[in-house]
Amino acid sequence: MQASAKAQPNIALIKYWGKRDRARNLPAVGSISVTLADLYTEMDINLDADVDSDVLIVNGSVDEQMLPRISRCLDMVAGDQRNAATIDSRSNFPVAAGLASSASAFAAAVVATAAAAGLERTTAELARLAGRASGSAARSLYGGFVELEMSDDDIAVSSLIPADAWPLKVVIAITAGGPKPIGSGEAMEISRKTSPFYKCWVDDQAQDLDAARSAIKNGDFDGLANTAEHNCLKMHSVMWTSRPAVVYWNAATLECLRAIRDLRSQGVGTFFTVDAGPQVKAICLAEDEARVRDALQSVPGVLSIITSGLGPGARLTRPA
Ligand code: PMV
């Protein structure tokens, strides 16, 4: 009745923004991501704890705010007749700041809960369950380059190529601390209902997915860079044209984009992406990582830098 799992966050290169079915949390568009290696969440689930209701500890402190979402996720995996649980979650990076902490948390939660409940679940089934809790979490069940496809009535997640087939690096510039002004779930709904660009965003996604998929399969860095930057700016244009506008960027976010563009024009292998937060992620060729890190470090307003390689999908750590 006890198990632990470890999962890494993922960064979308072709983004998910908007839901097609809110009740089942099905995304309106497919997406492609890379799973990171060096950032992680470790989660211990005890379904045999002596507690009356679920208790969630995040990095050593009781977390009442996240508890309902985690409890619902445990119900989905183990059934709502399950015992009350203790959930102990530890992450080695800032949570709720646009670094996809919900992706690694829910991916670890489904893997650990299924094992604690003694249930045999395939990775595809676990990915679907994680996706119900957080759309992007489904992708963290797989390593390397991952695609979340839209099938008729559910999601299907698969690995495009493993992490070591194209060992790119990710340099993350932290430009603000603290939680984001509005959660992505709520913001997506505002965009779906109000942005005049939303339909065009959804309709164009297949084209970006095709271009990114073939760039990944062919190791075409420039092709991937062009498509990913365009897709990111398109997603943020949908956010900005929502009413009320959803703006996650700050001045340093924009300065980082300029620095990355400058590097690219000098022949450095890097491109940017930004999620529902102010942090900037520079994807880069391994040989250019130090140059990208140094450049972002000197951008005014950058508070710190985190670097990571690409890594594996969520996995059970106890019982191993
Ligand atoms: O999984 P959620 O609900 O946190 O949404 C994540 C959305 C983005 O990070 C902005 C894009 C993506 O595909 O990860």
**Tens of pLDDT, residues 48-61:** 999 999 999 999 99
- State the burial class of residue 305 (Cβ atoms within 10 Å of its Cβ: 0-12, 13-18, 19+): middle
The residue whose CA is least distant from atom 9 of ligand 1 is: 275
Question: Which atom of ligand 1 has the smallest separation from the CA of 134?
Answer: 1
End-to-end, the C-alpha distance of the chain in Å comes to 14
pLDDT band at 100 (very low <50, low <70, confident <90, very high): confident
Where do we find the tokens 């130090």?
290
**pLDDT value at position 179?**
78
Mutate to test the pocket of ligand 1, among 275, 279, 280, 281 (most ligand atoms within 8 A of CB): 275
**Tens-digit pLDDT profile for residues 170-188:** 999 999 988 788 999 999 9
**pLDDT value at position 96?**
62
Structure tokens at 313: 């999908």
From the CB of 41, is ligand 1 less than 6 Å away?
A: no
What is the DSSP code string of 80-103?
TTSPP-EEEEEESS-SSSSS-HHH
**pLDDT value at position 166?**
98
**Tens-digit pLDDT profile for residues 254-307:** 999 999 999 999 999 999 999 999 999 999 999 999 999 999 999 999 999 999
The residue whose CA is least distant from atom 6 of ligand 1 is: 136
Please state whether 216 falls in left (phi above 0), alpha (psi between -120 and 50) or beta.
alpha
Average pLDDT over residues 225-243: 98
Asked if residue 13 has pLDDT above 80, the reply is yes
From the CB of 273, is ligand 1 less than 6 Å away?
A: no
**pLDDT value at position 151?**
76
Question: Which atom of ligand 1 has the smallest separation from the CA of 135?
Answer: 1
* Residue 307 DSSP SS3: strand
Asked if residue 195 has pLDDT above 90, the reply is yes
* Residue 11 DSSP SS3: strand
Can you give the pTM of this predicted structure?
Answer: 0.96
**Tens-digit pLDDT profile for residues 61-88:** 999 999 999 999 999 999 999 999 999 9
**pLDDT value at position 98?**
66
